[in-house]
Amino acid sequence: MGKLHVFNAGPCLLPQVAIDKTIDALKDFKGTGISLISVSHRSKEWGEVMDECRSLWKEILNIPDTHEVVFLGGGASMEFLCVAMNYLEHKAGYLETGVWARKALKEAQGLGNAVAVASSADRNFSYIPKDYQIPSDLDYFHVTTNNTIYGTELKSDPESPVPLIADMSSDILSRKVDVSKYALIYGGAQKNAGPAGVSFAIIRKDSLGKVSRHIPTMLDYRVHIDKESMFNTPPVFAIFVMNETLKWLKSIGGIDAIHELDVRKAETLYAEIDRNSLFTGTAAREDRSIMNVCFVMSEGNEQLQDEFLSFSKAHGMVGIKGHRSVGGFRASLYNACTMEDVEALVACMQEFEKIHKK
């Protein structure tokens, strides 16, 4: 088989240099003679990795001193509960834009009064709600900035009269973010930031300590800030890969450079979807994600779906089958995905069209 082009929605394609550095560390971590997965998390060498990883997050995203970065286990799904534990006192509002936003809302509703301020469920989450008002009596307003299943994305940081919280699992590190606008930004690492097994949280320190409930120790953000993400044994492997991924991102020019590339990749693929007679996009044009490009066979060609999946697989395309809940196709263009990968998918779509052109 020739070169593979990986479009998995997560765990995602990671930079080869990060993978190679990790392989080396698995054999010998920082010259200690010990494998990365056997090193003590209390060692000086590991402490250096943690410090560097935090510093890279702060540098790349221009995180102000008002905020701290912590690394946690449990993924974004655990953070759904942590958010409500740490911030929900009277009432919380959520922007319901997909499955993951709905799951975050459900976790909050298990603890108290949480409501959908606006929703795009009426059109199967194919757009981002626009004309809605955020009530001023909320403890916080929660958004999911990118919706991996439906291919929609918030293009800018929302303005909110109440503390703003965002799940940025699948578009973090792909665009500039005004971190100062947020009480909390969190997400699983396994899209742009690293492998599965660790989540990140960027927390405005003065936003904590305002709820009256008892917060279990492992769910209390203040504990993890105070213990510098080592209250318990951190996921050392995943954090090491994250650190190497951030070093790669910095080396290629940081957020400005990667955003320009990510936009070009997405525009290239969307242009082919719009041109090709066999395919059609599913997300509202103004809300199209640059991370997750979702599309289906055009009307009258639905019977070709399985054939195209087999055809694309034979041509080296990996991971373009749509989420099981919506079907169709999804190409995830996370940061380590190259323009060469996108151009290969476009060429595959063009060749398939030639075979079936009427």
Q: Which of 222, 209, 198 is nearest to 57 (CA)?
A: 198
Does residue 55 surpass a pLDDT of 70?
Answer: yes
> Start-end ranges of CATH 3.40.640.10 in the chain?
16-251
> For 212-268, how does the pLDDT look when each residue is reduced to its tens digit (9 = 90+)?
999 999 999 999 999 999 999 999 999 999 999 999 999 999 999 999 999 999 999
pLDDT at 92: 98
Q: What is the mean pLDDT of residues 190-205?
A: 97
Fold adopted by 254-356: Aspartate Aminotransferase, domain 1 (3.90.1150)
pLDDT at 118: 98
Distance, CA of 72 to CA of 83 (rounded, Å) = 13
CB atoms within 10 A of CB 321: 19
State the catalytic residues.
Answer: 100, 167, 191
Distance, CA of 15 to CA of 21 (rounded, Å) = 10
> Start-end ranges of CATH 3.90.1150.10 in the chain?
254-356
Model confidence band, residue 325 (pLDDT cutoffs 50, 70, 90)? confident
CATH class of 16-251: alpha beta
First to last CA, the chain: 30
**φ/ψ bin of 296: left (φ > 0), alpha (ψ from -120 to 50), beta (otherwise):** beta
pTM (2 d.p.): 0.97
